[in-house]
Amino acid sequence: MSTTLSPPATHEQWLATAREVAADLARDAVERDRANRPPHDEAARLRDAGLLTLLIPAERGGGGADWRTAYAVIREIAAGDGSIGQLLGYHYLLSWNVRFFGGAAHTERVERAAAEGRWLWGGAFNPRDPDVVLAPTGPSGTGFRLDGRKTFATGARVADRLVVGATRADTGEPLVVFVDPDHPGVVRNDDWDNFGQRLSASGSVEFHAVPVAADDVLGSLSQDDGVLSPFATLVTPAIQLVFVHFYLGIAEGALAAAAEYTRTTTRPWPLSGVASATQDPYVLATYGELAVSARATRALADEAVEAVQRGLDRGHDLTGEERGEIAVTVATAKVAATRAALDITARILEVTGARATASAYGFDLFWRNARTHTLHDPVAYKLREVGDHFLNGAHPPFTLYT
């Protein structure tokens, strides 16, 4: 098992650590999926490997890596266990909300505390749920009370801190706040029992008169013109690219597991005329198709990573036009990753054979994981964005519907 790297580690060192953790996760992924317990142990594996603080600057006690490395790490972890790839990917994005919506002093304070505590971040951000309400409780906005419920709160069950989307009761302004989930008013329900991504801790969370200090209100989520900078609205393509990478990781993990099974276990078809399944021309052609799909998707994903990293590096100098081009690049990769993940995870059974459907092998886990999260938002809307840009030069608007 990995131990925490001493920063600053290189990109290659982080990937080696991620692969070690992924291999550890893959060994018992099927058993853990069946048990469907909250992923406390899995979170500890990520924490012990130093992966939770990877994006925090080294001078603040973190790993000092950039998003190029973070996205690659997400993909590696998802190859071992798609649920934990999602958990880690959401953690990275949620931890960056303080940079998207807060100020410099706020960011430094939070990141130093997160590095010291090795926090895992979870989210209660589902914009399709009724809003959680943030009501002022002190003079001049010095304190607030949080009440309400959110579903699909990834990581909430095992998180050290929660990022919460809420509506201010007196003004109606949408805000982003963070909360310590150990407060007794926070109820983290163990009610995530879907057929895929079962260990992503994506159940519901309730808030009952939870106090929120003014310093824990990160900023506005208003979509009114001029409220959010183009940099802040990168939050949406950044999380979309998290999806791309754990979809791709699931697909690559499925393909690698299938290939190993074909090499060691699959028997040649009697009419094939070959001694080994690895020489069957139809098996080879199918693996060729799936490998091309994975490699093409990786190229688009890498292009999108470079686009997002350039946008993040630009910071508040980023223009709306630049942000729009980034969003289209990410949407293109999202469409490709969705299609590749669903196709690869379904078709691996064509090249492993009927015996591979035995539950002990767990090949269905890859498809169940990919299918569950790719329903998160209809890929047809991403195709519409790409098409509208290609035909009309339009850029996707900012929206939290990710």
CA distance 243 to 46: 19
Q: Do 368 and 243 share a domain, yes or no?
A: yes
Look at residue 401 and tell me if it is in a domain: no
126 and 52 in one domain? no
- Model confidence band, residue 3 (pLDDT cutoffs 50, 70, 90): very low
| Predicted local confidence at residue 130, as pLDDT | 79
Last residue of a domain, one of 97, 120, 143: 120
Among residues 220, 253, 280, the one where a domain terminates is 220
Determine the pLDDT at residue 131: 77
Domain for residue 56, yes or no? yes
- Number of structural domains in the chain: 3
Alpha-carbon span 34 to 308, nearest angstrom: 36
Q: Are 370 and 82 in contact (CB under 8 A)?
A: yes
pLDDT digits (tens, 9 = 90+) for 79-132: 999 999 999 999 999 999 999 999 899 999 999 999 999 999 999 988 888 779
Assess whether 116 and 126 both reside in one domain: no
* In a domain? residue 44: yes
Looking at residue 367, what is its pLDDT? 98
Each residue's pLDDT tens digit, 296-343: 999 999 999 999 999 999 999 999 999 999 999 999 999 999 999 999
345 & 378 share domain: yes
Cα-Cα end-to-end distance for the chain:
34
Q: Are residues 242 and 350 in the same domain?
A: yes
Mean pLDDT across 287-294: 98
My answer on whether omega of the bond before 397 falls inside 30° of 0, hence cis, is no
Specify whether 82 is located in the same domain as 210. no
Closest alpha carbon to 252 in 199, 301, 291, 304: 291
**Residue 3 domain-assigned (yes or no):** no
Same domain, 115 and 150: no
Which residues contact residue 381 at a Cβ distance below 8 angstroms, ignoring those fewer than 6 apart?
Answer: none
- Rounded distance, CA 111 to CA 121, Å? 12
Is residue 115 domain-shared with residue 130, that is, in the same domain? no
Q: Given a cut of 60, is residue 4 above it in pLDDT?
A: no
Q: Is position 345 within any domain?
A: yes
Mark whether 276 and 131 lie in a shared domain: no
Q: How far is CA 4 from CA 29, 49, 112, 285, in A?
A: 23, 5, 17, 42
CATH number, position 98: 1.10.540.10
At residue 1, the pLDDT reads 46
Per the CB < 8 A criterion, the answer to whether 326 and 308 are in contact is yes
Q: Which CATH number goes with the domain that contains 150?
A: 2.40.110.10
Q: Are residues 135 and 197 in the same domain?
A: yes
* 285 and 382 housed in the same domain: yes
- Tell me whether residue 1 is in a domain: no
With a pLDDT cut of 70, the percent of the chain lying above it is: 97
> Would the pLDDT of 6 be above 60?
no
Both structure tokens of 92: 């990275």
- What are the tokens at 401? 């519907």
The per-residue pLDDT for 397 is 86
In a domain, 398, yes or no: no
CATH classification of the domain holding 387? 1.20.140.10
Boundary-marking domain end, from 120, 152, 176: 120
Structural domain boundaries, residue 34: 11-120
Q: Is residue 295 assigned to a domain? A: yes
Summarised one tens digit per residue, pLDDT across range 159-207 is 999 999 999 999 999 999 999 999 999 999 999 999 999 999 999 999 9
pTM over 0.85: yes
**252 and 103 fall within a common domain:** no
